[in-house]
A = this chain, B = another copy of it.
Amino acid sequence: MENLEEYKKLLRSHKLRITDCRLDVIKYFLQENRTLFQNDLERQFPHYDRVTLYRTLISFLKYKIVHQIPNSTGVASYGLSNQDFTQTESNDNHTHFKCNYCGTIKCLKETAIPVVPLPVGYQIDKLNLIVDGICIDCS
């Protein structure tokens, strides 16, 4: 889903109002095609209040327009969710690649996570695979 109009529909479907800030944030995610920290948004959009960007992410999280990416930095990071509703399966499993050189984190949509044999008694809800290494642009 790369079309802004579709995201407007998505916002409306959740009764979220269409505002400049929300559209700008979505556009930026689409343009950058990578995981963003709130701080990235603050630097990109200094005219929006830090709290406004914070609450934009919170409301997007609530309706899974974005999702949080696990990372080791101690700072929350966010990725635009795959909103392809033509798929029947939920797309809650993600592989993310963190480049140790340039630092960017990208979702590898084409990389499926293999079935993992967990100990008996554990119920799986969601899988996140975090791969650290050198990305294709830096190698």
Q: Which residues of A contact B (CB under 8 A)?
A: 68-76, 95, 97, 100, 108, 110-111, 113-136, 139
A109 to B76, CA, bound (A): 26
CB pair A116–B111 under 8 Å, yes or no, is yes
CB pair B100–A111 under 8 Å, yes or no, is no
- Pick from B69, B111, B123: contact of A119, CB below 8 A: B111
Copies of chain A in the complex: 2
Interface of A is mostly: loop
CB pair A122–B100 under 8 Å, yes or no, is no
| Also in contact, A113 and B116, with CB within 8 A (given A68-B72, A69-B72, A125-B133) | yes
A-B contact pairs, 23 of them (CB 8 A): A70-B70, A74-B76, A95-B116, A97-B118, A111-B119, A114-B116, A116-B129, A119-B136, A120-B136, A121-B135, A122-B133, A122-B134, A122-B135, A123-B134, A124-B132, A125-B133, A126-B132, A128-B129, A128-B130, A128-B131, A128-B132, A129-B129, A130-B130
